Structure 1
């Protein structure tokens, strides 16, 4: 339940960050640089959440692909994202590889 609340809170913060510029200045009055920057806010927030969890499981920095299925799953997700540029296939590929590797390592 805490994780769901965390995701909902992060989504609300991301939405409010984007809405703040639009609400204060109006959508048509925003400079092009701000509109471009706001487009990348969700990606930046998502990256800030995921990268530490992938590279520092348990608080220890690791780059070993063979012993940690998270890194392999993240690489698979990045490859799928590069080819499809879609969120759901990216998440499905990353989670699928993670679950498969964890099941194989049991």
Structure 2
């Protein structure tokens, strides 16, 4: 079976992507690392994890690959428990543990 791209092309793409991602990270850490950022910018950065984590998890709950994209009670209930514990206790570790226990428990009960 022949490859559509040569090995050299693939390695060039990998190296260029590596350099690109390094430069993106360096732009924040290297270029701005010693400077004080504006207060409004720092305030906005506090919300980044709160926005990114649900964006990463929501597709896994609503369209899980394990069920060919069909929502299922085990994952939905684990998400509800995780959010509930997080809102009530403001403790991330407890929320994650509660969600994990609920997910594994529901998967065991539902088969």
Q: Distance in 2 between matches of 1:55 and 1:36?
A: 30
Q: Distance in 2 between matches of 1:48 and 1:26?
A: 30
CA change 1:45–1:93 in 2 (3 A) is same
Q: State the Cα distance separating 1:32 from its structure 2 match.
A: 2.0
Unaligned runs of 5+ in 2: 1-24
Question: Residue 73 of structure 1 contacts residue 95 of structure 1 at CA under 8 Å; is this kept in 2?
Answer: yes
Give 3-state SS (helix, strand or coil) of 2:37's partner: coil
Quote the RMSD (CA, aligned, Å).
Answer: 2.6
CA change 1:22–1:51 in 2 (3 A) is farther
Unaligned runs of 5+ in 1: 1-15
Question: Residue 55 of structure 1 contacts residue 71 of structure 1 at CA under 8 Å; is this kept in 2?
Answer: yes
Pick the structure with greater CA Rg. Answer: 2
Q: Distance in 2 between matches of 1:48 and 1:23?
A: 28
Alignment of 1:17-56 (within 5 A): 20=28, 24=32, 26=34, 29-56=36-63
Greater helix content: 1
Give 3-state SS (helix, strand or coil) of 1:24's partner: coil
Structure 2 match to 1:60:
69
TM-score when normalising by structure 2: 0.64
Structure 1 match to 2:77:
72
Structure 2 match to 1:9:
none
CA change 1:78–1:51 in 2 (3 A) is same
Hey, which bits of structure 1, 4+ residues long, moved more than 2 A? 58-62
Q: Distance in 2 between matches of 1:33 and 1:61?
A: 41
